[in-house]
């Protein structure tokens, strides 16, 4: 019966080694099924008991019972230790959890400078009682030109280098002015709207010109509208956006859709004695504007005896470049992460 004794010893040592190396619940369960289950090694040893003589049974019976008790107790102790150490590890993790830690390598998002300036501008005009109007970027010849008093053969069309589509009379809008006509057709009078939006010009690109840029259109239609309403509105807006009391200068100009037409300059918000932004002139050209031409009002079916209006058009992209000191317009649509990161 030496072999049964050897088997008992072997069981003890292999069971102990297996238990020591079981470091998680899955491994522990594997040890249990291999050694202690009904089909495990211990049961196989117990099976051998019935083939022994009475004498031998007297010797090995108690030995096997002892082994059974010992192995089950050892297993339970090891299991409890493992659970405890797992709980301690979890607790330590929670205790050292730093809620303020930033994940290394995460990029924080930010608003694109054009979106940011657009929101600022919208907020200022909304506070003055304006509504936001919108129009399509693919326009018809009628809205982009005809209705704005720029007929097909008019030389003023040269002011807007146009991307024409293959479909006759369709184009990418060259300015936001067509939204004026859409707004007059849609909305009730009196009317005060702004329309920020993308425009397209068939132009060579350089640091200050792009084929895609943003404008901001403004339109007010009411009774008794005069040039002073226009100037006061522009001044209030410019002071709010640059947060400074700036001087304004008005020059006569020409736009087919306004009469009279003007251009507005402001004193440079960035210097007192000349800088590269104002090209050392102390003045910055900021927008085109004027009183809405009666033909434009008529095209939208408005009674010109009763109503008049003013309109203005800012370069929103230019405004963003001025406020954020961006020296190349092409950066705005470059998608360069190093550029965009600066605005977070």
Query: Given the complex with ligand DAH, which of 177 and 317 has the nearer CB atom?
Result: 177
Q: How far is the CB of 274 from ligand DAH (least distance, A)?
A: 26
Run of H or E residues at 212: strand 212-222
Report, in Å, the least distance between residue 312 CB and ligand DAH.
5
Query: Could you say whether residue 191 binds ligand DAH (CB under 6 A)?
Result: no
Of residues 64 and 148, the one with the C-beta less far from ligand DAH? 148
CB of 290 to ligand DAH, least distance (A): 5
CB of 316 to ligand DAH, least distance (A): 11
- Minimum CB distance to ligand DAH smaller for 40 or for 197: 197
CB within 8 Å of 205: residues ≥ 6 apart: 211, 329, 330
Please give the distance of CA 31 from its chain centroid, rounded to a whole number.
Answer: 53
Which bin fits 235, alpha (ψ -120 to 50), beta or left (φ > 0)? alpha
Among 144, 149, 162, 177, binds ligand DAH (CB under 6 A): 177
Cβ nearer to ligand DAH, comparing 31 with 183:
183
> Considering the complex, what minimum distance in angstroms separates the CB of residue 129 from ligand DAH?
19
| Contacts with ligand DAH, 233-262, as mask; x by CB under 6 A | ----------------------x--x----
Query: Considering CB under 6 A, how many residues would be counted as binding ligand DAH?
Result: 11
**What gap in Å lies between CA 30 and CA 35, rounded to an integer?**
9
Cα–Cα distance list, 106 to 10, 110, 342 (Å): 55, 13, 15
The C-alpha atoms of residue 226 and residue 212 are separated, in whole angstroms, by: 33
Q: What are phi and psi of 297, to 5 degrees?
A: -65, -45
Q: Which residue's CB is nearer to ligand DAH, number 135 or number 290?
A: 290
Q: Minimum Å distance from CB 294 to ligand DAH?
A: 14
Q: Which of 172, 288, 322, 332 binds ligand DAH (CB under 6 A)?
A: 288
Burial class (CB in 10 A: 0-12, 13-18, 19+), 235: middle
Phi, psi of 304 (to 5 degrees): -75, -15
Cα gap 134→183, rounded to integer Å: 8
Rule CB under 6 A: is residue 289 a binding residue for ligand DAH? yes
Pick between residue 30 and residue 154 the one whose CB is nearest to ligand DAH.
154
290, 293, 320, 322: which one binds ligand DAH (CB under 6 A): 290
Residue 218 phi, psi dihedral angles, 5° rounding = -130, 145
Residue 187 contacts residue 193 (beta carbons within 8 Å):
yes
Nearer to ligand DAH, 45 or 293 (CB): 293
Q: What is the Cα–Cα distance from 190 to 277, expressed in whole angstroms?
A: 38
Q: Which is nearer to ligand DAH, 113 or 290 (CB)?
A: 290
Q: Does 175 bind ligand DAH (CB under 6 A)?
A: yes
Least distance between ligand DAH and beta carbon 174 (Å): 7
Rank residues 62 and 190 by Cβ distance to ligand DAH and give the closer one. Answer: 190
Integer angstrom CA distances of residue 19 from 43, 45, 67, 79, 299: 18, 19, 15, 9, 92
C-beta separation of 216 from 195 below 8 A: yes
Quick note: the x/- pattern for ligand DAH over 294-313, rule CB under 6 A, is -----------------xxx
The binding site for ligand DAH (CB under 6 A) comprises 175, 177, 217, 255, 258, 288-290, 311-313
């Amino acid at each position: 019966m030496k072999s049964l004794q050897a088997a008992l010893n072997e069981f003890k040592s292999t069971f102990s080694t297996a238990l020591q190396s079981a470091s998680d619940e899955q491994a522990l369960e594997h040890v249990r099924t291999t050694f202690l289950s009904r089909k495990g090694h211990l049961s196989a040893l117990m099976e051998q008991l019935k083939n022994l003589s009475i004498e031998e049974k007297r010797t090995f019976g108690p030995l096997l019972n002892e082994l059974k008790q010992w192995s089950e107790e050892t297993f339970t102790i090891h299991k409890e230790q493992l659970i405890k150490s797992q709980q301690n590890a979890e607790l330590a993790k929670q205790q050292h959890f730093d809620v303020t830690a930033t994940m290394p390598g995460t990029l924080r998002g930010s608003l694109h400078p054009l979106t940011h300036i657009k929101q600022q501008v919208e907020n200022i005009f909304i506070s003055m009682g304006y509504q936001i109007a919108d129009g399509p970027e693919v326009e018809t010849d009628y809205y982009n030109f005809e209705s704005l008093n720029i007929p097909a053969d008019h030389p003023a069309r040269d002011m807007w280098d146009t991307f024409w589509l293959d479909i006759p009379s369709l184009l990418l809008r060259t300015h936001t002015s067509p939204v004026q006509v859409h707004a007059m057709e849609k909305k009730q009078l009196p009317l005060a709207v702004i329309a920020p939006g993308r425009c397209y010009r068939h132009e060579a690109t350089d640091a200050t010109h792009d084929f895609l840029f943003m404008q901001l259109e403004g339109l007010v239609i009411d009774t008794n509208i005069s040039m002073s309403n226009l100037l006061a509105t522009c001044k209030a807006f410019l002071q709010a956006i640059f947060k400074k009391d700036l001087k304004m200068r008005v020059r006569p100009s020409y736009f087919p859709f306004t009469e009279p037409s003007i251009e507005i300059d402001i004193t440079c918000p960035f210097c007192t004695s000349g800088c590269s932004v104002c090209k050392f002139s102390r003045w910055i050209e900021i927008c085109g504007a004027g009183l809405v031409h009666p033909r434009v009002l008529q095209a939208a079916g408005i009674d010109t005896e009763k109503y008049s209006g003013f309109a203005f058009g800012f370069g929103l992209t230019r405004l963003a470049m001025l406020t954020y000191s961006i020296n190349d317009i092409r950066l705005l649509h470059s998608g360069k992460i190093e550029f965009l990161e600066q605005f977070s």
